[in-house]
Amino acid sequence: MLQLRGLPVVPDPRPSRRARLLETLALSKAEAMLVSHPPNVRYLSGFTGSNALLLVSPKKSVLYTDPRYNFQASAECDCAVKVLTGSTWTDAVKDIARKPISRIALEAARVTHQQWLVASAVFGKKTKLTGVGTLVDRQRMVKSAFEIELIRRSVLLASKVYEKAIRKVKPETTELALAATIDFEMRKLGASGPSFETIVASGEHSGLPHARPRPVQVGRDRLLLVDMGACLDGYASDMTRMAYLGRPTAKATDLHSAVLEAQLAALGMVRAGVQACKVDEAARQSLKKRKLDKAFMHSTGHGLGLEIHEDPRIGRTSADTLEAGMVITIEPGAYLEGYGGVRIEDTILVTETGAEILTPTAKELLVLAS
């Protein structure tokens, strides 16, 4: 049973997650899987440490880790734990080789070439290897009610911190100081930290979609972009909001309203059964009407959960179809070289009938007196 911060106690979902994985795995004719990507290990076993491998097998699932995590692994995992003193990969593979498994799946997208060679040498002809790409990541796309609750809390924490921090910004505040305040406030409220490096970008710098905060004052009469999220109880949140220091020019408000229109157009498309690429297209078409389609050079959104960027991807080439229970971001932007950029991003829950916007923060261009 899990109990977190006063949440209702819910049945531990991990054995059923492993059972579901084994069902999908049967399609690739593998009897067991060695999971190595840490968020996937966490999802299937509960282990939150940085070094572990998880054998998921119908007979017995085993978590392999090193002596640093001896006590932690036993406390967190609901499956058998084996502590290895040598190389975790080599020793785990040797242990698995003693089991009667004729075909085992590896996370092909996460295993190094070297690890694959070690595994095939140790297994020899007895156990065949199958690469299964991102099977567990795909399973993680649709969130349980419990996970949605955790994301909801992470979103609320981030919004609370943003609203407090942004009101205190002065023209003399540096981008780095504002980012540091945001990170500090998130931790004070119980987050383990930001879910990605907090972005604070003012003026021209906001025109870089992945700007890094600088030791530079945010200044007056310019746009200010903040893109931030918290990591709370392992779950990420993600939001972008725009502020303006001083009286916004028509250029700034026009750019902001064009992006807001695009964001609302994309949100309007969200519903279970809709192709993710159609949501992206809605944002792009909306910006095209304002001749800003070329100023939007990234995708419209991404899934999030145990990681900040997860499947499904909401982009032009995405082959994914939205399902109820997916938690994604909707974040179109428009970036003008030499001037600056606007991005508006919410974390949302896909439902049968539409989108439930989890981010409560107002989306208007926030005018801060300079």
DSSP state of 2: B
The Cα–Cα gap between 99 and 346 comes to 47
Q: Minimum distance between the CB of residue 85 and Zn ion, rounded to whole angstroms?
A: 40
The Cα–Cα gap between 240 and 332 comes to 10
Q: Minimum distance between the CB of residue 320 and Zn ion, rounded to whole angstroms?
A: 16
Please list every residue from 142 through 181 that binds Zn ion, using CB under 5 A: none
Are 128 and 32 spatial neighbours (Cβ–Cβ below 8 Å)?
A: no
With CA atoms as reference, report the closest residue to 84 among 64, 108, 112, 98.
64
Q: If binding is defined by CB under 5 A, does position 311 make contact with Zn ion? A: no
Q: Minimum distance between the CB of residue 240 and Zn ion, rounded to whole angstroms?
A: 5
Question: 97 Cβ partners below 8 Å, 6+ apart?
Answer: 122, 123, 124, 126, 127
Helix and strand numbers (H, E) in the chain are 10, 20
Nearer to Zn ion, 53 or 279 (CB): 279
Q: What values do phi and psi take at 241, rounded to 5? A: -135, 155
Considering only 45-53, 55-63, 222-230, 358-366, which stretch makes contact with Zn ion by CB under 5 A?
222-230
Considering only 24-32, 39-47, 109-117, 234-242, which stretch makes contact with Zn ion by CB under 5 A?
234-242
Considering only 105-113, 155-163, 327-335, 347-355, which stretch makes contact with Zn ion by CB under 5 A?
327-335
Using the rule CB under 5 A, which residue among 107, 227, 233, 261 binds Zn ion? 227
Tokens standing for residue 204: 């021209």
Residue spans of alpha helices (H) in 168-229: 175-188
Are 163 and 155 spatial neighbours (Cβ–Cβ below 8 Å)?
A: no
Considering only 33-41, 74-82, 96-104, 235-243, which stretch makes contact with Zn ion by CB under 5 A?
235-243
Nearer to Zn ion, 173 or 329 (CB): 329
Considering only 5-13, 91-99, 237-245, 246-254, which stretch makes contact with Zn ion by CB under 5 A?
237-245
For residue 123, the one-letter residue type is F
Using the rule CB under 5 A, which residue among 115, 198, 329, 359 binds Zn ion? 329
DSSP state of 249: P
The Cα–Cα gap between 211 and 115 comes to 35
Are 283 and 265 spatial neighbours (Cβ–Cβ below 8 Å)?
A: yes
Q: If binding is defined by CB under 5 A, does position 238 make contact with Zn ion? A: yes
Q: Minimum distance between the CB of residue 269 and Zn ion, rounded to whole angstroms?
A: 18
Q: If binding is defined by CB under 5 A, does position 48 make contact with Zn ion? A: no
Q: Minimum distance between the CB of residue 286 and Zn ion, rounded to whole angstroms?
A: 19
Per-residue x/- track, 177-216, Zn ion (CB under 5 A): ----------------------------------------
Are 246 and 220 spatial neighbours (Cβ–Cβ below 8 Å)?
A: yes
Nearer to Zn ion, 277 or 327 (CB): 327
Nearer to Zn ion, 57 or 329 (CB): 329
* Pairing between β-strand 310-314 and β-strand 235-236 as defined by DSSP bridges: unpaired
Nearer to Zn ion, 227 or 280 (CB): 227
Nearer to Zn ion, 46 or 229 (CB): 229
Q: Minimum distance between the CB of residue 12 and Zn ion, rounded to whole angstroms?
A: 30
Q: Minimum distance between the CB of residue 159 and Zn ion, rounded to whole angstroms?
A: 13
Q: Minimum distance between the CB of residue 107 and Zn ion, rounded to whole angstroms?
A: 24
DSSP state of 274: -
For residue 208, the one-letter residue type is L
With CA atoms as reference, report the closest residue to 33 among 47, 46, 13, 19.
19
Binding residues for Zn ion, rule CB under 5 A, total: 4
Please list every residue from 334 through 363 that binds Zn ion, using CB under 5 A: 345
Please report, as ranges, the residues that interact with Zn ion according to CB under 5 A. Answer: 227, 238, 329, 345
